[in-house]
Structure formats: C-alpha cells, structure tokens
Amino acid sequence: MGVLTRCPLYLLANLTSIHTFDLAKRMPLPSLTQVFPGLNICYLCAMEMIEHEINQFRLVELRAKGILIANVADGTDLVGNAYYRGFDKVILHLQNIDGAFFDLKTGIAGEILQKFSNYRLGLAIIGDFSKFESKSFRDFMLESNKLGHVNFVGTIAEALDTLSC
C-alpha cells in the first residue's frame, strides 16, 4: 500500500530560483529571500506525498489544499523533482491543477505533458472531468487515455490500475 510522507516544505529548485508554495495562505517568506538574495519570492506549503510501489514501478501521489501546477514552470519543476527522486509515475488531483491547464488554447497542458513524455514519466490526473465541455479537450482526454502515457481517471484505484503496467 501507499506510504504517506507529510512534506511541510516543498522545495523546487532550478537554475534561477527556489520555489516553495503556500497555496492556502500565499505567504511570502522574507527570511528565504534574505538568505537567497535575487531569487523569486518563496512560499511554504503543506503537501502530502503518498508513495506507491506496484509491479516494480515507483509512483508518487501528490495532494495539497491548493494549486500545485499553475503554469509551465510549476509543471517542469514537478517533472524534474519526480525524476530526480526516482519515481516512474505521478498521480495528481484535478483540484491541484489550475483551470488554464485544461484550456488547450493556452498550451500549458501540451508543454507540461511533453515534459512528462520526455522524461518517460507516466501521469494520471484524478477528478471529475464532466465539467469540461470543450470537444477538443474531451478528444484530447480520450486520445491520451488510449495511448496510456497520460491518463484522466475518476478514482485513485483507477489511477493505480492504469499506471501499474
């Protein structure tokens, strides 16, 4: 079964900034910006990382009270961190992804999902997708689910089953 890791400080780093997220309060952490001058404002987030191991695949399920992916940079950081930590597949929840991701005209979904593909990381997004009425998005979901690398599912059980192979 899954192993729950409470992660009070979710730190994502790239060459130009360090990002931590407080999605509930959006509280800047001036002490970090003082310690790391010139870096972007950082945020603190209570995020749960639930690790699953199925058929020799390491999966991580991410849960938070707010948005984890608001833009392409957030998605890129997530992919890099999952890859660095040795996970094969990632499970996200619909409520943790900004609505712009699901508007294909923004290009956010395409860029982020390309990163998952480049790093050969499987992805399942759990949620009720019936609220998305766009024909292009529905077609995108169906095609993604057929190919199996990115999956849009309704439950954690479906996500684990889909990502287990």
| Rounded mean pLDDT for each run of 10 residues along the chain, 165 residues in total | 43 39 43 40 58 92 90 91 93 94 94 94 96 92 93 96 91
Whether 137 maps to a domain, the answer reads yes
Whether 20 maps to a domain, the answer reads no
The partner residues of 48 in beta bridges, in order of sequence, read 6, 63
Whether 44 maps to a domain, the answer reads no
SS3 annotation, 94-155: HHHECHHHHCHHHCHHHHHHHHHHHCCCEEEEECCHHHCCCHHHHHHHHHHHHHCCEEEECC
Whether 5 maps to a domain, the answer reads no
Whether the pTM exceeds 0.85: the reply is: no
User: Could you tell me the CATH number of the domain that includes residue 68?
Assistant: 3.30.750
Spatial separation of the C-alpha atoms in residues 156 and 1, rounded to whole Å: 12
Residue 64: count of CB within 10 angstroms of its CB: 20
Per the structure, the complete domain to which residue 81 belongs is given by 49-163
pLDDT of residue 60: 93
Whether 39 maps to a domain, the answer reads no
Whether 2 maps to a domain, the answer reads no
102: its two tokens: 């699901």
Q: What is the domain count for the chain?
A: 1
